[in-house]
Structure 1
Amino acid sequence: MPARLTVRFFAGARAAAGGVSAEPAEATSLEELTQHLTDRHGERLGLVLKSASFLVDGLSCHDRRAPLPAGATIDVLPPFAGG
């Protein structure tokens, strides 16, 4: 069963999501979440999500297939210039 999540977009991810800073979503993993967000906002965001980093409740998550905890906050951080 998908977990209810809060997704927060930062910098270029926010721009690619049409200026949305946060929204609710449901997904079992980051892999599923990225597909859901791409379907919702379009391929421009999909491209950003391919190279983005994700924080799950403030902790970096590199395994896009790991289960997401219910009620988690997911921060979408695109690559930043110069860093």
Structure 2
Amino acid sequence: MEPTSLTVRYFAGARAAAGHREEVMPADRSLDDLTAELVRRHGDRLGAVLRVASFLVDGVTCHDRQAPLPAGATIDVLPPFAGG
């Protein structure tokens, strides 16, 4: 992975909606910017999942969706899971 990129990893329904397990995206963006780009790339099916998903940035829950994501970070997309 380049130091100017982010790795986005998809789990469960997010993986099915995106059509793959992970992808590399350019850095220098916020989580809101990233999710908007992912919807542009993959469509409304992924958009519906992203609206209810939780996001981990390098293993830590992201609470500020406008904060710049650190270059080289791994973003985990975690949709709600059945059973809690």
Please give the TM-score of this superposition, normalised by the length of structure 2.
0.90
Instruction: Please list every run of 5 or more consecutive structure 1 residues that lacks an aligned counterpart in the other structure.
Output: none
Separation of aligned partners in 2, 1:14 and 1:58: 18
Q: Hey, what's the Cα distance between the residues in 1 that align with 2:76 and 2:26? A: 14
Cα distance in 2 for partners of 1:13, 1:79 equals 10
Q: Report the equivalent of 2:6.
A: 5
Tell me how far apart the structure 2 counterparts of residues 26 and 58 of structure 1 sit (CA, whole Å). 19
Query: What amino acid sits opposite 2:7 in the alignment?
Result: T
Aligned length: 80
Task: Supply the distance in 2 between the matched residues of 1:40 and 1:22 (Cα, whole angstroms).
Answer: 13
Whole-Å separation in 2 of the counterparts to 1:74 and 1:34:
11
- Deviation for aligned residue 1:64: 1.0
Residue 31 of structure 2 corresponds to: 30
- 1:80 — aligned with what? 81
* Structure 2 unaligned spans of 5+: none
* SS of alignment partner, residue 26 of structure 2: strand
- Compute the RMSD of aligned alpha carbons: 1.0
Provide TM-score, normalisation by structure 1: 0.91
Runs of 4+ in 1 over 3 A off after TM superposition: none
Superposed counterparts of 1:33-48, under 5 Å? 33-48=34-49
